[in-house]
Every structure is written in structure tokens, then in C-alpha cells.
């Protein structure tokens, strides 16, 4: 059975890569096409709206469970201002006070936001070791 929560494992891994980061860190397991609403491979993040504040956090670190060869996780360093500038491209849930990101994990459009069909590309924020 697949893991349902990879957060602690992802945070432990990230700490070995970036031990001094004091920014918002969010994690997503890899969802197979059978597990996702879109019937495609994705990563899913729910970001509290109070975190999307450049005065509080300059960057958001998004850790994705890796379904490819290599490291167990991948991570993106996304400027908070980029999220704010493009907020209409994302699903906002004002009731739950979260912004939702759905990144494609398919080879053809990896790291593109797909929930609202914006196809906003986040691949330039992937960090290489």
C-alpha cells in the first residue's frame, strides 16, 4: 500500500539538503493516475493563505515525492511574490483559507499547474543539487 503521508520523511530529507532554511516548507506525495481527480500523475499542495505573504516568507519551498530515478524527493524554491502575482491561476478556497496547486507529474508538462488549466510553468523553480 502506498504511503498516505510523506511529510516527515520529506522534511528530514530536505533538512539534509538545506539545513538552515527558515521559510515555508510544504510537501506533496506523488499521486498516481488512479489516485488523482484528474486521472493523471500529479503533486498536490494546499498552501495556507497567511503563508502567501512576502513580508513573512520570501520563498515557499515545495517538496515533491520523486517518482523518477534518483533522490527520493525533488524541491522547488518559489518566490512568494510569484504566487501572489499569479493567484488567479490557482484554486482559492476562501472558506478553508488555502490556495491549491496541482502540478502535473507527467513528462510532457511536468511542474505545470493544471487544476485551472492555466498551465503556469513552475519548472524554472526546481532546484538542482
The answer, yes or no, to whether residue 1 has pLDDT greater than 50, is: no
The pTM of the full predicted model, rounded to 2 decimals, is 0.93
Gap between the Cα atoms of 18 and 20, Å rounded: 6
Q: Name the pLDDT band for 2 (thresholds 50, 70, 90).
A: low
> 54, 110, 48, 104: which is closest to 79 by C-alpha?
54
Gap between the Cα atoms of 12 and 6, Å rounded: 10
Q: Residue 3: its pLDDT value, please?
A: 61
Residue located via cell numbers 491561476: 89
Gap between the Cα atoms of 97 and 119, Å rounded: 23
* DSSP state letter for 126: B
Amino acid at each position: 500500500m502506498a504511503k498516505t503521508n510523506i511529510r516527515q520523511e520529506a522534511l528530514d530529507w530536505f533538512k539534509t539538503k538545506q539545513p538552515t532554511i527558515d521559510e515555508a516548507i510544504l510537501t506533496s506525495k506523488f499521486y498516481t493516475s488512479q489516485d488523482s481527480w484528474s486521472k493523471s500523475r500529479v503533486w498536490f499542495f494546499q498552501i495556507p493563505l497567511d503563508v502567501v505573504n512576502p513580508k513573512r516568507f520570501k520563498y515557499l519551498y515545495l517538496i515533491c515525492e520523486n517518482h523518477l530515478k534518483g533522490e527520493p524527493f525533488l524541491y522547488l524554491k518559489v518566490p512568494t511574490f510569484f504566487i501572489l502575482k499569479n493567484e488567479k491561476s490557482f484554486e482559492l478556497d476562501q472558506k478553508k483559507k488555502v490556495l491549491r496547486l496541482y502540478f502535473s507529474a507527467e513528462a510532457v508538462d511536468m511542474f505545470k499547474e493544471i487544476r485551472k488549466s492555466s498551465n503556469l510553468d513552475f519548472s524554472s523553480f526546481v532546484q538542482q543539487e
